[in-house]
Amino acid sequence: MSQTITAAMVNSLRSKTGAGLMECKKCLVETDGNEEEAITLLKKRGVATAAKRAGRDAGEGTIATYIHGAGRIGVMLELNCETDFVAKNDEFKELAKDLCMQVAAASPLYVCREEVPVEIIDKEKDIAAAQAEGKPQPAIDKIVAGKLDKFYQQVCLMEQTYIKDSSMTIQDLMTAKIAKTGENMKIRRFARFEVGA
């Protein structure tokens, strides 16, 4: 017997995911009322939706700033979207501020792994390979790949764990926001300043 989907179940899923009411209800129906499975389904659909929108031009946006530690750390970040309407939205501005706080706290060096210079990647690969010396080549390759992934998680903003929710990365956060607004969004650049650093 299939589970009756109540308004309370839909509202609960919506508050946890930020997805639209109809999308929440549809996913709950498809998963027979299982909230965890519905969340997974919404995430998969969000990723698919975000991927479709990734090619669209994001020429609008905002520049956000954040000062932390009595003026010891400052961050400036440009967050782009497709329309002026979304750029002026409070939720979009809050996202930009949260991203500034992330940069202040986690000190990334690049937005994404594609921005990391080849010579730095090569250096990290060499270090990882030297540490794995003496092991069979397939094991060395695995170790190097693993250490490189860890390196990206430290230095690339999109791959960092979100400071406000450790169950997601910044990429997951952006994907969820893109799915919710229906617009492509992109972190274009940021700068982090620290007194004496």
**Summary mean pLDDT of the chain:** 86
Q: Are 164 and 124 in a shared domain?
A: no
| Residue 102 maps to a domain | yes
| Residue 2 maps to a domain | no
d(CA 112, CA 197) in angstroms, rounded, equals 23
Q: Are 18 and 104 in a shared domain?
A: no
Instruction: Please compute the mean of the pLDDT values over residues 6-11 and round it to a whole number.
Output: 82
Scanning 31-136, the segments in alpha helix (DSSP H) are: 35-53, 84-87, 90-106, 118-131
Q: What is the pLDDT of residues 32-63, one digit of tens each?
A: 888 888 888 877 766 445 555 555 566 789 99
Residue 177 phi, psi (nearest 5): -70, -40
Instruction: Please compute the mean of the pLDDT values over residues 10-21 and round it to a whole number.
Output: 71
Can you give the CATH number for the domain in which 48 is found?
1.10.8.10
- Domain with 131, as residue range(s), is 117-154
pLDDT at residue number 99: 97
Q: Are 82 and 96 in a shared domain?
A: yes
CB of 30 within 8 A of CB of 40? no
| Residue 176 maps to a domain | yes
Q: Are 47 and 136 in a shared domain?
A: no
Q: What is the pLDDT of residues 134-176, one digit of tens each?
A: 888 888 888 889 999 999 999 999 999 999 999 999 999 998 8
For residue 186, the cross-strand partners are: 80
| Residue 178 maps to a domain | yes
| Residue 14 maps to a domain | yes
The pTM assigned to this predicted structure is 0.69
